[in-house]
Amino acid sequence: MNQDPIRIGVIGLGNMGSAHAGYLARGEVEGAVLTAVADPVAARRDWAQEQLGNEVRTYGSTQELIASGEVDAVLIATPHYAHPEEAKAAFRAGLHVLVEKPAGVYTKQVREMNEAAAASGRVFSLMYNQRMNPLYRKMRELIADGELGELRRINWIITDWYRPQSYYDSGGWRATWAGEGGGVLMNQSPHNLDLFQWITGLMPSRIRAFCGFGKHRDIEVENDVTAYAEYANGATGVFITSTCDAPGTNRLEISGERGKLVAEDGKLTFWRLRVPEPEFNRDYKGGFGSPETWRIEVPLPGGDPQHHRAVTRNWVDGIRTGAPLAAPGEEGIRGLELCNAMLLSTWTDGWVELPLDEERYLQALQERIDASSSRKDPAAAGARLDVQGTH
């Protein structure tokens, strides 16, 4: 094992980057030390110098930080569009990389990032902190172990991403095609889109989605989504998300041949069939009747309650010891593909087959950027919101 601590640079000191820099500077990630930060906004660099300690170098650009020789690894928390380019530059410099969600805005750029990561041989992870949530880990474990048998239905109503107009007004780049490349699917729900495929181990074969753009809000991107998914094994799914529902709902229901899992209110309930449904259906001759079902409250294990920090710890462990990653970076393309497919289905008013046609998506996105009435400069953004209680 390498006994020297991994020297970490944090790129981007917005809402999330400053939080990451904070726990790293406080020494909360064993085996890692924060040595550098980068942000083009002078006020943020001033904040860093005051808050993070004198040992932390500050840079005005990603390029300077990468070229500084002060870091072994970087945590990238810049605006979405920049993630893949900055990650590729870091891989070229031989650095390990942890990227904030989303992996990028369109799958073409993320695929190129994944290729650069593979060529570099460096440790690449995504800030999918919800993969550290014991609730979702347990669901994934039960499904992977076959407790549900073949999956049949996946319904997630995840509408508790309430954002008032003042959130959207807090940065001119927010909720624009040019600035963020999407709305609730790109900003609030990337974790959910990742979990939608990570928990089940299934990617849909095709998607038909219905996005509302600027619903009850003065924005141009989607903030209300209902998506229908079909899977190769015959299963179907529904994914509903929104930023204007109050109060929202977070209820994930997954059913299969052997029963049903429901996650709601932080609890996991398993309705377990005593005999699998196909077997009951084959043998039962009574016309009306259904399989005997046992209701089980599934105990959830503990874990680091700060899931962001847990991902960073896992990534650092991966660098130091080769420990398996909870959120390998190359998997970031999956949730993004679902996001892109939901938008493309709405724009084309039709089915989108997966794998997604990445060129077609990029072209459709570019059309929205070109037609956009919002032409604000992301780099002009200096405001920082209090992200207490957000993800």
Pick between residue 118 and residue 246 the one whose CB is nearest to its own copies: 246
Kind and range of the H or E run holding 25 = helix 15-25
CA distance 124 to 345: 30
Nearer to its own copies, 62 or 159 (CB): 159
Is the bond preceding residue 355 a cis peptide, omega within 30 degrees? Answer: yes
Subset of 161-200 contacting its own copies (CB under 8 A): 162-167, 170
User: Near its own copies by CB under 8 A, which window of 3-11, 279-287, 336-344, 356-364?
Assistant: 279-287
SS3 171: coil
C-alpha to C-alpha distance for 291 and 289, rounded to whole angstroms: 7
Dihedral angle of Cα 291, 295, 296, 297, to the nearest 10 degrees: 150
Shorter beta-carbon distance to its own copies: residue 73 or 240: 240
Tell me whether residue 81 or residue 210 sits nearer to its own copies (CB atom): 210
By C-beta, is 67 or 246 nearer to its own copies? 246
Q: Are 315 and 76 in contact (CB under 8 A)?
A: no
Residue 49 has φ and ψ, to the nearest 5°, of -65, -35
| Other CB atoms within 10 A of residue 316 CB | 25
For the CB of residue 387, give the shortest distance to its own copies in the complex, in Å. 7
Q: Residue 70: name the closest of 22, 29, 36 by CA.
A: 36
Residue from 28, 245, 304, 357 touching its own copies (CB under 8 A): that is 245
Nearer to its own copies, 4 or 218 (CB): 218
144 lines the binding site for its own copies (CB under 8 A):
no
Residue 287 structure tokens: 């016309």
3-state class of 27 per DSSP? coil
Cα–Cα distance between 213 and 346 in angstroms, integer? 10
Rounded-to-integer distance, Cα 269 and Cα 217, Å: 36
By CB under 8 A, residue 215 contacts its own copies? yes
> Taking CB under 8 A as the rule, does residue 236 contact its own copies?
yes
Q: Which is nearer to its own copies, 247 or 301 (CB)?
A: 247
The answer to whether residues 65 and 45 touch, using CB atoms and an 8 Å cutoff, is no
Question: And the tokens for 264?
Answer: 């709601």
- Over the window 149 to 168, marking each residue x when it contacts its own copies by CB under 8 A and - when it does not, the resulting string is ---xx-x-x-x--xxxxxx-
The answer to whether 209 and 219 are in contact (CB under 8 A) is no
Our CB check for its own copies shows the closer of 95 and 148 to be: 148
**Cα angle at 375 between 374 and 381, to 5 degrees?**
100
Residues 6+ apart with CB under 8 A from 266: 135
Least separation in angstroms between CB 344 and its own copies: 16
- Which 372-391 residues touch its own copies, going by CB under 8 A? 385-390
Q: Which of 117-125, 176-184, 250-258, 310-318 is the region at the interface with its own copies (rule: CB under 8 A)?
A: 250-258
Residue 206 binds to its own copies (criterion: CB under 8 A): no
Q: Running DSSP on this structure, what letter comes out for residue 14?
A: S
Q: Residues 70, 291, 323, 369: which binds its own copies (CB under 8 A)?
A: 291
Least distance (Å) between residue 356 CB and its own copies: 20
246 binds its own copies (CB under 8 A): yes
Q: Which of 61, 63, 249, 366 lies at the binding interface for its own copies (CB under 8 A)?
A: 249
Query: Residues interacting with its own copies, by CB under 8 A?
Result: 152-153, 155, 157, 159, 162-167, 170, 208, 210, 212, 215-217, 224, 226, 228, 230, 234, 236, 238, 240, 242, 244-247, 249, 251, 253, 255, 259-260, 262, 271, 273, 277-278, 280-282, 284-291, 293, 385-390
